Structure 1
Amino acid sequence: MNLKDYQYFKKLAELKNFSETANFFKVSQPTITYSLKRLEENFDITLIERKSFANSLSLTPAGQQMMLHINRILLENDLIEEDMRRIKRDKIVMGWPPIITNYLIPKVFDKLKRTGLLNSIEPVADGSRELLSKLKNGKLDMSLLGTTVLPQENHLDYQIIKKHQFKFIASEKRDTSNLKTIEQLFDEDFISLDEGSVHKLALQRVKERYNVSPDTTFQTADYNLMLSLVQADKGISFVTETAIEGVSGIKEIKLDGIQLPSFYILFIYRHSMIGDQRINELIDVFKSI
């Protein structure tokens, strides 16, 4: 079986339409039909069910199982090219999420500089969710990462660098003595980090657990802006303690009986990645924190 048959099947499963799949690959519709026929004859099983309306389909249980394997096969095919490029290039491409970078890099800067590793890194700044996706697809060699849930994929290796907690925060100027319950807290003007943030996901868990919703007056992707607004007493917010270490003018709002999610800072890389000595040294530097 060739990779092209797997690629056709994957796209056919996504588009659920023979004509659109053929147009995507710029081939004739019979090419897609014969490709599917080869797969079904090879495994002696039906992979799709055609619907009564024109040129539409759904996957059989066998087709769904096939897709699980095809996704892994095609991913590994893509990773071959990425890994060959990685081994040839001079730089180590590493994910640096902003909050974690600002917290961690000053702690290891001198060590990275002394060992010559600092100039070996090509940093990629992005959110942790986006960086994890890039790591899985081979676009990154390794990454720092912030998450509330530890990765379960067996093809990823990681080291927990720190375990922090999320906190509700306010300006030191603000009188929070009257905030005794989470309902009272969420009646305050709330400044939140945007939908793509791990913070947003953690806050959603708090909202669901305690059946509350904040009065959000402003939302931003820039955590430095969020901190500045809180310092200026424009509202309260919800953030990992990672972001507020050493930041003045901000205090924690503590509520009795309220459990907030943990925030894990990880150093993560693909299990199958074979690297040079610099990669092993980088791993050792971050493990030492």
Structure 2
Amino acid sequence: MNLQQLEYFKVIAETENFTTASKLLLVTQPALSKSISKLEEELNVPLFEKRGRNVKLTRYGKIFLVHAERALLEIGKGIKELDEMASENIDKISISSTSRVGAYFMNFIISDFLNENPNTKFQFNQQSIMEIIDDLNNRKIDIGFYDNHTEAILDSSIECIPIKKEEYILIVPKNHVLADRKIISLKELENESFIAFCESSKDKILSYKDMLGYTPKISIEPKGANIGSAVEGLVSAGAGISIVPNSPTINTNLLSKISIKEPIKERVIYMSFLKSEYVSPIIKLFRDYILKHIDNN
């Protein structure tokens, strides 16, 4: 049984004539008769009985017509709903990122992309790394972005592409004794109070002890969605200094950025998406745009 047979059956029931039905359905009468015969064989009951040149529904046909019409109606609704969804999503991209990436990286990317593709609609939220991975697997988002100083998340169903590497720098308030320095050694910071930069216990970016080679004095360890802004605000207020990823959004009117002499493993921003998943042209365009325009050196 297939959708075509149900359509044929419904039209014949309405017209009560195979010839008329064949003209409306744009199919030959023999083909129409053969299709209905196969349907009756499958159901193992007669659906029509002859009444002169016309046909009438049998008692089986009358019962089956109720269900066939209901099925065709529901399928029609489903097709319409899918068409509407597809139409709405033609220029729609659903993305998610960790909070720090969202605060300074995604804003610029989305803005630049919209300048070239003004009809695009973005659905954008911020989550933890594992929430991003879960939403990708559950197809709630199209693309995820996260930052990590170790490795990409290992999930066989997800493609993770490193798209940008960032160096860590020291930030101090403008009135700090180190504010005029261009470069500094970590050994010179032993007596300083640090404002720790770690976004959460799950997404911890940086171990200050491992990096510095000694246990520093941590005066404040802010947490929350806007961790970057919180750290920079505390540093500019003179509450301590901090080692953070170099970002174009750091307010150099209030803060001084100082390069670090010792090599520190860069923080890497990854773009992730489901492997072997159909994507709309606009999503592919956005992914290609990122790979083409982001400097990951």
Q: How would you bin the TM-score normalised by the shorter chain?
A: 0.5 to 0.7
1:207 is aligned to 209
What is the alpha-carbon distance in structure 2 between the residues aligned to residue 122 and residue 97 of structure 1? Answer: 15
Once the two structures are superposed, residues 32-87 of structure 1 have per-residue CA deviations (whole angstroms, 9 ceiling, x without a partner) of: xxxxxxxxxxxxxxxxxxxxxxxxxxxxxxxxxxxxxxxxxxxxxxxxxxxx9xx8
1:267 to 267, 271, 286: 271
2:144 counterpart residue number: 143
Query: What letter matches 1:242 in structure 2?
Result: S
Q: Do structure 1's residue 283 and structure 2's residue 287 form an aligned pair?
A: yes
- Residue 234 (structure 1) aligned to one of 226, 236, 239: 239
How many residues get paired? 200
For residues 209 and 115 of structure 1, what CA distance do their matches in structure 2 show?
42
Partner of 1:106: 108
The aligned amino acid for 1:145 is Y
Q: Root-mean-square deviation (CA), in Å?
A: 3.2
Matched ranges for 1:108-187 at <5 A: 108-116=110-118, 118-119=120-121, 121-128=122-129, 130-151=131-152, 152-176=154-178, 182-187=186-191
Shift of 1:123: 0.7
Aligned to 1:65: none
Contact 2:169 2:260 in 1 (8 A): no
Partner of 2:78: none
The structure whose residues are more often helix, as a share, is: 1
Aligned in 2, Cα 1:209/1:100: closer, same or farther, shift over 3 Å?
closer
- 2:192 aligned with 1:196, yes or no? no
> TM-score with structure 2 length normalisation?
0.56
1:108 positional shift? 4.5
Whole-angstrom distance in 2 between the partners of 1:247 and 1:127? 28
1:224 and 2:226 aligned: no
Shift in Å at residue 245 of structure 1? 4.9
Gaps of 5+ in 1: 1-83
Tell me whether 94-103 or 270-279 shows the greater mean CA deviation: 94-103
2:98–2:128 contact (8 Å) kept in structure 1:
yes
Distance in 1, Cα, partners of 2:280 & 2:151: 26
Kept after mapping to 2: 8 A contact 1:199/1:238: no
Q: Any stretches of 5+ residues in structure 2 without a counterpart?
A: 1-81
Give the secondary-structure state (helix, strand or coil) at the position aligned to 2:221. Answer: strand
Give the equivalent residue in structure 2 for 1:251.
256
SS of 1:229's partner is: helix
Q: CA deviation at 1:194?
A: 4.0
SS in 1 for 2:290: helix
CA contact (8 A) 2:96 2:125 kept: yes
Q: Is the 8 A contact 2:137 2:274 kept in 1?
A: yes
Secondary structure, aligned partner of 1:207: helix
Change (3 A) 1:192 1:278: same
- Following superposition, the deviation at residue 285 of structure 1 comes to 2.1
Give the SS at the match of 1:193: coil
Q: Residue 96 of structure 1 corresponds to which residue in structure 2?
A: 97
1:169–1:250 Cα contact (<8 Å) kept: yes
